[in-house]
Structure 1
Amino acid sequence: MNVYRSLLVHMVMDKLLKIVNHVLLLHRGPVVTFKISSLQLQACSDIDSWVRYLSFHSVKEFKLQISKSECHNIPRCLFSFRQLIHLILVGCIIVPPVTFQGFSCLRSLVFQKVTLSNATLERLVSTCPQLETLELVDIDGPTRIELCNPKLKYLTISGKFIDICLKDLRMLVYAEFRTTNAPHPNQQRTCNVTNFLISVLGIQVLVMHGWFLQSLVIGDVPRRLPSTYDHLKSISFVLNVKDMKAILIAICLLDSSPNLREIEIMFWSGRKSAVVPAMDLQEAKDQLECTFNKLRVVNISELSGMEIELEVVKFILANSPMLEIMIINHAIIGIGIGNVLALVKKLLGFKRASPQAEIMCFDLENLNGAI
């Protein structure tokens, strides 16, 4: 069976190469867009021939996705594409020539499952003066990601990395971070909540999933951030309710974002990597001070009924005069209908600053509906 499957893959790959080679051989005129994204594409010499051929054309959009076997070494002539606007590379090894001075027209860059060095990533981002969108997913090599580009507007980083440094991202409006590895207490990290946000004062949407919020737990958590994020409209984060420092960071972010319109919180409970300083719950509650005068929508996931979770929900309801809806998803699995009803009673008893605020509960042991 494995022999048959291998033979079939080889036949599909061979047919794919013949089709692409045939099309390029017969093509006359400019090539503006070149995209190849096959699940059967493997690293091979034909790819280098395609890139060399395209280097004589004014390619503006290039996508190459290697889905099989080892990563493909990108030929250096790709870095001579002077009019490139959009670049997507998947399953590649990237080593630009030392003479490379950036893509002067590039506006969007996507790297997924690529291998490159810290220095290469930093140079690529900083030498593309028109870059607006950057997406890094499961890249191999950099453990400390350092980015600097004043034109960047949209940033997505997902995967395993230890540290991140953002410099001069004054135009950034959307940022999404997803760390898939838990922070280790002995790792050398410099990024904390204060210096992480210092250069993104114009941020409008901030998403922090995986272990990212906990990765900002370095040193003392300030009661307030040095700046307020007046442009921030939407924030989404995963919160470990067993990690008091992570809770304080979340509170600090909320207190520094007066114009939020949407909040999304996914609660979870884990002792591993949690930092629990010598303080009680009351001290954490005392730091909740802000009023959400523009908040319209709140989405809560994985509510388990713990006191700190309920305090967060209670505070948001009591300090959001324009709130329209709070959605609670996937809550209280397997604890019995009695406990579910007790939770519903608590929610009903919370003071709501907004007379039109509605609470929608889903998957509460099949007790669905509006409260």
Structure 2
Amino acid sequence: MMPPERRKSGRQGLPIDRLSNLPKNVINSILMRLPLQDAVMTSILSKKWRNDIQDLVLKFSEWNRYRLPPSFFTCSQLRHLTLQNCVICPPPAFKGFDMLNSLNLCDVTISSKLLESLISYSPLLEKLVLKISDTSDHLQINAPNLRSFDFTGCIKYISLRSVPLLSKLSLPCQKSIEESEKCDFDKFFQLLSALEHLYLANGSDQFLVTGAAEVPRRLSSPLNYLKRFNITLWRLADFSIALCLIRSSPYIQDIEMEVSSDVYIFLFSSVCVIHM
């Protein structure tokens, strides 16, 4: 009697990884039909599945935030990553995504320290979008290749320490004046010499300055590359900021201001002479 046929195996007698050997279109078809959390967990099954991922969008329910598994942080080929409503807690050995070009985080749970590490350990990062509803502490950003930074949410203090190529900046709508901390307005913009497009939403002055009186007439270092400037004027301090930045931008081309009713009434009930 013939013995049963042995299962084919790869090197060192291990079973063949049939999942890894599937065509990419088949793998993509399988992943698209799986529930979201199951699709993430498939990274445990095949190393090749997670190493080939370059664009990844994971959006979970806000009522049941999913904790990313340790295997997620081995996706070494990631270039574009979007995460929403999940818990990000990398393993101690995690050293960032070497190939990451854009990062979009919306309502994620992550400490300020881990967020700083995730950004600084992604050396090719060019686009960063942060939409954080929970109040964060200090956030220091070191990203030498960063070109675009869009922040929305609550934060006490933002330090753009090493962003020499940053050309597009959008700063936030604060929710709590009492919790914000102030920075030196002039020093803040000294580090943004490559800035081309600036958008300041309602409440940006809450962590940029301590009051309208501390806004200088002009910045000590002009914004020679600033072309587009958008600002929401909700209080008189915003108006002082706008004047300072406009005076400090000799080559500005487009200016857009959204004015609240209170500021509008003040401006048109007073005689204002602006010396450019």
Name the TM-score class by shorter chain: 0.7 to 0.9
Matches within 5 A, 1:9-158: 28-30=22-24, 46-53=38-45, 55-57=47-49, 58-140=52-134, 142-158=136-152
User: Structure 1: where are the runs of 5+ without partners?
Assistant: 1-24, 271-302, 320-371
* 2:164 aligned with 1:170: yes
Partner of 1:251: 243
The 1:60/1:166 distance shift into structure 2, 3 A limit, reads same
Structure 1 letter corresponding to 2:90: P
What is the CA RMSD across the aligned residues, in angstroms?
A: 3.1
* 1:237 CA displacement: 0.8
Matches within 5 A, 1:255-270: 255-268=247-260
The 1:237/1:160 distance shift into structure 2, 3 A limit, reads same
* 2:187 aligned with 1:227: no
Partner of 1:8: none
* 1:178 CA displacement: 1.9
Identity %: 26
* 1:102 CA displacement: 1.2
* 1:193 CA displacement: 1.8
* 1:202 CA displacement: 0.5
Residue in structure 2 matching 1:208, options 200, 203, 223: 200
Structure 2 letter corresponding to 1:307: L
* 1:54 CA displacement: 6.1
C-alpha separation between the residues in 1 aligned to 2:20 and 2:48? 15
The 1:262/1:124 distance shift into structure 2, 3 A limit, reads same
* 1:52 CA displacement: 2.5
Q: Which has the higher contact order (CA 8 A, sep 6+)?
A: 2
Aligned to 1:152, the other structure's residue is in SS state: coil
> TM-score, normalised to structure 1's length?
0.61
Structure 2 letter corresponding to 1:114: V
> TM-score, normalised to structure 2's length?
0.80
C-alpha separation between the residues in 1 aligned to 2:85 and 2:41? 18
- Post-superposition Cα deviations, 1:187-242, rounded to whole Å, max 9, x if no partner, equal 4624232232221110100001121134322262223211000100001111234x
- Post-superposition Cα deviations, 1:262-293, rounded to whole Å, max 9, x if no partner, equal 111111256xxxxxxxxxxxxxxxxxxxxxxx
Partner of 1:161: 155
C-alpha separation between the residues in 2 aligned to 1:188 and 1:175? 19
Partner of 1:5: none
| Contact 2:20–2:48 (Cα < 8 Å) also in 1 | no
Aligned to 2:192, the other structure's residue is in SS state: coil
| Contact 1:37–1:65 (Cα < 8 Å) also in 2 | no
Structure 2 letter corresponding to 1:74: L
| Contact 1:213–1:237 (Cα < 8 Å) also in 2 | no
Residue in structure 1 matching 2:234, options 240, 262, 275: 240
* 2:272 aligned with 1:306: no
Residue in structure 2 matching 1:181, options 175, 180, 186: 175
Partner of 1:362: none
C-alpha separation between the residues in 2 aligned to 1:118 and 1:136? 12
Aligned residue pair count: 252
* 1:47 CA displacement: 4.8
Residue in structure 1 matching 2:186, options 170, 173, 194: 194
C-alpha separation between the residues in 2 aligned to 1:310 and 1:123? 49
* 1:310 CA displacement: 7.3
| Contact 2:40–2:72 (Cα < 8 Å) also in 1 | no
C-alpha separation between the residues in 2 aligned to 1:154 and 1:192? 22
